[in-house]
């Protein structure tokens, strides 16, 4: 009886594994195709001299901190920014217009901030992206290392990503 049970369990496992392999192969999911997904990210034609800023140690009691990044359209055609979003509700962004006025605030999708921009960056034009981080947004649980991302998406589907870091103290 014990041998019969072992054989039945073995056959069931073999059938289950066969179905998994068959379904995986049928969908064309090979290791190469899965790895290709991550490497297919399209870079924006917009460029920035710097995309990372570390605020170092900041205190919650001192309130918001901000950093301005400059980006450029080096191409021979206008680039339209369709979206601008942040990775967390504690971070917002403003697009600074050539005349100094601002557009935004832009924020995390689904958290009340705007994410759609439809902003045209003309050939050779520089723009400023002002990133504002609120160290109090998460309350006492927000103390420690933070790493936030701000992503511009253009009309070609390309992205330009900025990153801010800090160590938050009470």
The pLDDT assigned to 33 comes to 32
At the top level of CATH, the class of 47-169 is mainly beta
Q: Cα 68 from chain centroid?
A: 18
> Does position 40 have pLDDT exceeding 90, yes or no?
no
Q: Where do the domains of the chain lie? A: 2-39, 47-169
> Does position 6 have pLDDT exceeding 90, yes or no?
no
| Confidence category of residue 36, pLDDT binned at 50, 70, 90 | very low
Which is more confidently placed, 50 or 24? 50
| Confidence category of residue 7, pLDDT binned at 50, 70, 90 | confident
Q: What is the pLDDT of residues 95-146, one digit of tens each?
A: 999 899 999 999 998 876 677 888 999 999 999 999 999 999 999 888 999 9
């Amino acid at each position: 009886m014990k041998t019969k049970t072992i054989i039945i369990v073995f056959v069931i496992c073999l059938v289950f594994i066969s179905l998994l392999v068959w379904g995986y192969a049928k969908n064309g999911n090979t290791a190469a195709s899965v790895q290709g997904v991550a490497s297919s990210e399209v870079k924006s034609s917009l460029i920035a001299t710097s995309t990372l800023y570390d605020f170092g140690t900041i205190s919650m009691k001192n309130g918001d901190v901000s950093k301005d990044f400059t980006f450029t359209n080096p191409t021979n055609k206008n680039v339209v920014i369709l979206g601008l979003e942040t990775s967390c509700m504690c971070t917002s962004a403003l697009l600074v217009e050539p005349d100094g006025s601002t557009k935004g605030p832009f924020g995390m999708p689904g958290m009340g901030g705007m994410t759609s921009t439809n902003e045209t960056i003309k050939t050779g034009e520089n723009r400023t992206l002002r990133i504002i981080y609120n160290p109090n947004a998460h309350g006492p649980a927000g103390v420690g290392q933070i790493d936030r991302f701000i992503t511009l998406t253009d009309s070609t589907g390309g992205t330009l990503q900025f990153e801010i870091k800090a160590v938050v103290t009470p």
